C-alpha cells in the first residue's frame, strides 16, 4: 500500500492558522476530493474538528489522537492512537493507497513513512501562518509531475499541482 500526503502549502510551506487554511482554492478542493475518493484518509483530531467534526463523504475517515476522551460520535469515523496504527487500519481496507491529510504535526510524524506527496503549491507567502508543512528535501524526494495554474476570478493566487516520490 502506498502511503501519501495530500497537502496545500504556501511558498514557505505555510498550511494554516488557528486550525484553518489560509486560502480558498476551489480547484484544489476538487483535486483533493477526486484524488482521495474511495480511499482511507488519515487526519489528526484538530483537522477533523476543523471540518466541522463531520467525516469526509465517500472516504474511510481515520482520526489520530492521543486524547483517550475523544469520541467522534459517528460510526463512520475510526480512531487510532498513532500514525502507525492508523496506517494498519487503512491497510485492512485492502486499499492501494492511503492519504494523510494533516495537520502539521501529523504530517511531520508521518513523513518518514510516506512514499508520495501530492502538493498544491500556492504561489504566495503567508506571514500570518502558524502551521507549516515539513521541508521536502531534494536529497530524499524527486518531483515527478507539476502543472501550473494562474490566478483567476476564483483563485486569488497562482498555484501548482506537484507530485513527489521518494
Domain borders along the chain are: 2-139
The reported pLDDT for the residue numbered 52 is: 73
d(CA 86, CA 140): 24
pTM listed for this prediction: 0.95
Backbone angles phi, psi at 107, to 5 degrees: -60, -45
What pLDDT shows up at residue 74? 85
Predicted pLDDT at 34: 97
Superfamily grouping for domain 2-139: Dihydrofolate Reductase, subunit A (3.40.430.10)
Per residue in 75-103, pLDDT (tens digit) is: 889 999 999 999 999 999 999 999 999 99
Within the chain, which residues score under 70 in pLDDT?
none
Amino acid at each position: 500500500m502506498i502511503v501519501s500526503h495530500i497537502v496545500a502549502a504556501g511558498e514557505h510551506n505555510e498550511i494554516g492558522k488557528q486550525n484553518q487554511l489560509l486560502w480558498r482554492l476551489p480547484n484544489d478542493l476538487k483535486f483533493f476530493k477526486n484524488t482521495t475518493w474511495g480511499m482511507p484518509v488519515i487526519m489528526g483530531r484538530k483537522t477533523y474538528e476543523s471540518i466541522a467534526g463531520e467525516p469526509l463523504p465517500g472516504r474511510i475517515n481515520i482520526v489520530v489522537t492521543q486524547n483517550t476522551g475523544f469520541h467522534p460520535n459517528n460510526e463512520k469515523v475510526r480512531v487510532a492512537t498513532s500514525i502507525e496504527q492508523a496506517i494498519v487500519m487503512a491497510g485492512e481496507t485492502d486499499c492501494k493507497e492511503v492519504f494523510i491529510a494533516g495537520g502539521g504535526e501529523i504530517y511531520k510524524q508521518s513523513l518518514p513513512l510516506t512514499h508520495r506527496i501530492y502538493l498544491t503549491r500556492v504561489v504566495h507567502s503567508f506571514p500570518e501562518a502558524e502551521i507549516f508543512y515539513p521541508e521536502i528535501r531534494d536529497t530524499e524526494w524527486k518531483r515527478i509531475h507539476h502543472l501550473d495554474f494562474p490566478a483567476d476570478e476564483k483563485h486569488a493566487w497562482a498555484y501548482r499541482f506537484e507530485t513527489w516520490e521518494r
